Structure 1
Amino acid sequence: MSSGKPETHSRVTPISHLAFLITPGQVPDATAIGALSVATKHAALHALIEPVVAAMGFELWGIDHLSQGKNSRLVIYIERESGVSVEDCADISRQVSAVMDVEDPIPGEYRLEVSSPGMARPLYSLDQFTRFQGHHVALKLRTAFDGRRKYQGLLVGVEGDEVLLQLDGEEYCFPIESIDSAHIVPQFDD
C-alpha cells in the first residue's frame, strides 16, 4: 500500500540489557525472586509456571504480574491448538496454585487468573510477533521515542531482535527490549 509518501524507517534504541538471565528449566529460589528486577521476576515466574502448564498439554502464552498498591494479580495466558475451555483454565489454576503455594514467589496476597489470550491477545516474544505478522498491533514502549510511547499499526515482521511496525507509510523498528507491552488489535470487516 502506497500513501504517496516515500517509505522511511525509524529505529528505536534499546534502553537496557538484562543483567541476570534465567535459562529454560532453571527455577530460581523463590525467596530470591522478591529482590529481582521486574524483567527478571517475570522470567523467574515463567520458569516456575511453564513446566506445570506444559505438563498439562498447553503452551504458556504469557504472564502478567500486575501490582497496584495492595492489589496484586498474576494473570496466566494459556494456549492450545484445539482451544481452551473454562474447565481447562480451572484445572491449570489449581495446579499452578499448588506450586505457587509451595514456592511462594510473590510476597503478600495476590489473585491468580488463568485465561486464553483471546482475540486482542498480548504479545510477549519475537516468535509470537512472527506468528501474527500482517495483523494490526498496539505497542507501548518503556520510554518515549519521537515524543510518544504508544504506537499502533501493521505488524510487518521481525528482523533479528526487532519488531517492525508500519504506520502512516513509515516503518518503525522496535527492539523487543524497548517494548513494555503489545497486543493484537482485532480488525472487523464491515
Structure 2
Amino acid sequence: MSKVTEIVESLSLPILEQLQLELVDIEYVKEGPNWFLRLYVDKDTGVDIEECGIVSERLSEKLDEVDPITHPYFLEVSSPGAERPLKKPEHFQKAIGKHVHIKTYEPIDNEKVFEGKLISFDGNELTVEYKVKTRAKTVTIPLEKVAKARLAVTFS
C-alpha cells in the first residue's frame, strides 16, 4: 500500500465506522494527466449516493487538514458494484457460496483464471468449484497466489 492510501485509510476509517460503512478498497491512480483518489465503500444492504456524498464531504475536510497529496486530484467515493473486489480475508469469508472470478500469479492445474463458486476459505486457502465444459472440478488456491479476486455476476 502506498503512503497516500495508508493515510487516507486512517482518515476514512473513523468516518466510515460512524456511518456503519465498510471500506472495501482505496485506489490512488494516475489516468492520463489526472490523479484520482477512489474509495469504495459498502454495507450489507448496499450503499446509496447520499452516503457516498457524506463520506466524500467529511473525508475531503480531513484531507484538506492533513494535506497528504500535494498536486491536484479528484476524490471519488462510490459503491464497489456487483463485481466488488475481494482483497481482505473477511471479503473472502463473506463470499463463500457466491460466484467468484480469481486470477492467480502462476498456473495452478495449468490454469491462471478460475470462475465458479467459492466453496470454502480457511484463512490461507480458497476452494473454488468451477466447470470445464460440462465437468465440475474443484481447485484449492493458496491466498498468496491470488493476483486478483472479485465477485462475478452470472446470468442464468
- Pairwise same-fold verdict (TM > 0.5): yes
Shift of 1:82: 4.2
Q: What is the aligned length?
A: 150
Structure with bigger strand share is 2
Hey, what's the Cα distance between the residues in 2 that align with 1:48 and 1:180? 27
| Contact 1:136–1:155, Cα closer than 8 Å, also in 2 | yes
Q: CA RMSD in A?
A: 2.5
Shift of 1:95: 0.7
Per-residue Cα deviation, 1:132-171 (whole angstroms, up to 9, x for no partner): 1121211234x33356654323212212322222334131
Per-residue Cα deviation, 1:100-151 (whole angstroms, up to 9, x for no partner): 222233442322111122211121211111111121211234x333566543
Aligned partner of 1:185: which letter?
A
1:123 paired residue among 81, 86, 90: 86
1:57 aligns with 2:20: yes
Aligned partner of 2:150: which letter?
H
Gaps of 5+ in 2: none
1:180 aligns with 2:142: no
Shift of 1:41: 5.4
Cross-structure match for 1:145:
107
Aligned partner of 1:157: which letter?
S
Q: TM-score, normalised by structure 2?
A: 0.77
Q: Structure 1 residues 50 and 149 mapped into 2: Cα distance closer, same or farther (>3 Å)? A: farther
Q: TM-score, normalised by structure 1?
A: 0.66
Structure 1 residue runs of 4 or more that deviate by more than 6 Å after TM superposition: none
